[in-house]
Amino acid sequence: MSRPCCPTTLKLLSFHQSRGADTLSARVSIQTEDFNLAAEVDALRAGDSRVGAVCSFIGTVRDRNDGSEVSAMELEHYPGMTEKAIEAMIDEAHQRFAIHAARVIHRVGLLKPLDQIVLVAVTSAHRGESFRACEFLMDYLKTQAPFWKKEETPEGARWVDARVSDDAALAKWGITARNG
């Protein structure tokens, strides 16, 4: 059963400190409005002279999927549960990789082709840790974060399922997808 998205702007921030009382290490936002990469990276790096690398990923809405034209995508989430799940995933990234901070923004609501959907940004002392942590976080988000995606196509609306290739990407980190 589908639950309609809230028409008002959802901007939920959660903060978690894991590497010292004065270090903001993980931030999650679920929101309807767009985001600005430069502003987000500036905020993530702010005053942290340990940062030698920043890796970011932005996902956008495509105009085609599975051979069909896509005119829009509607994303829904479970408020509170979604943020908690992403925070736990960021905690896991901190345990696996030597990163300083991470930022995940995921949009919900009705989006059109070329709209930004998701931002994952990670800072660390060296590029390798940032690259690996960013990829890990995105692989997790693709399959395990509690979002529901519905595409609008000329044939009608359809729900988007996780792909086998996304589950395989997650498996390389030693995590079994919970999609069944």
CATH of residue 82's domain is 3.90.1170.40
> Mind listing the pLDDT tens digit for each residue in 33-69?
999 999 999 999 998 999 999 999 999 999 998 888 9
Positions of the chain with pLDDT under 70: 1-26, 179-180
pLDDT at position 137: 97
Question: How far is C-alpha 164 from the chain's CA centre?
Answer: 19
Q: What is the pLDDT of residue 23?
A: 37
Q: Give the global pTM.
A: 0.82
Helix locations, the chain, DSSP H = 37-45, 81-96, 127-144, 164-171
Q: Tell me whether residue 151 is in a domain.
A: yes
User: What region, left, alpha or beta, does residue 61 occupy, with left being phi > 0 and alpha being psi -120 to 50 degrees?
Assistant: beta
pLDDT at 179: 60
In this structure, is residue 5 part of a structural domain? no
In a domain, 4, yes or no: no
Which range of residues forms the domain containing residue 64?
12-167
**Domain membership flag for residue 105:** yes
Residue 108 maps to a domain: yes
Cα separations in angstroms, 24 against 17, 123, 126: 5, 12, 19
Alpha-carbon distance of 34 to 61, in angstroms, equals: 13
Count of the separate structural domains present in the chain: 1
Inside any domain, residue 172:
no
- φ, ψ of residue 41 to 5 degrees: the values are -65, -40
pLDDT at 6: 34
- The reported pLDDT for the residue numbered 13 is 38
Tell whether 100 is covered by a domain: yes
Residue 8 in 3-state DSSP? coil
- pLDDT score at 18: 36
Task: Decide if 177 is inside a domain.
Answer: no
Strands 99-107 and 26-31 turn out to be parallel
Rounded-to-integer distance, Cα 84 and Cα 12, Å: 11
- CB neighbours of 171 closer than 8 A, spacing ≥ 6? 177
Q: Hey, what amino acid is at 146?
A: P
Structure tokens of 95?
């345990």
Tokens of 10: 């959802």
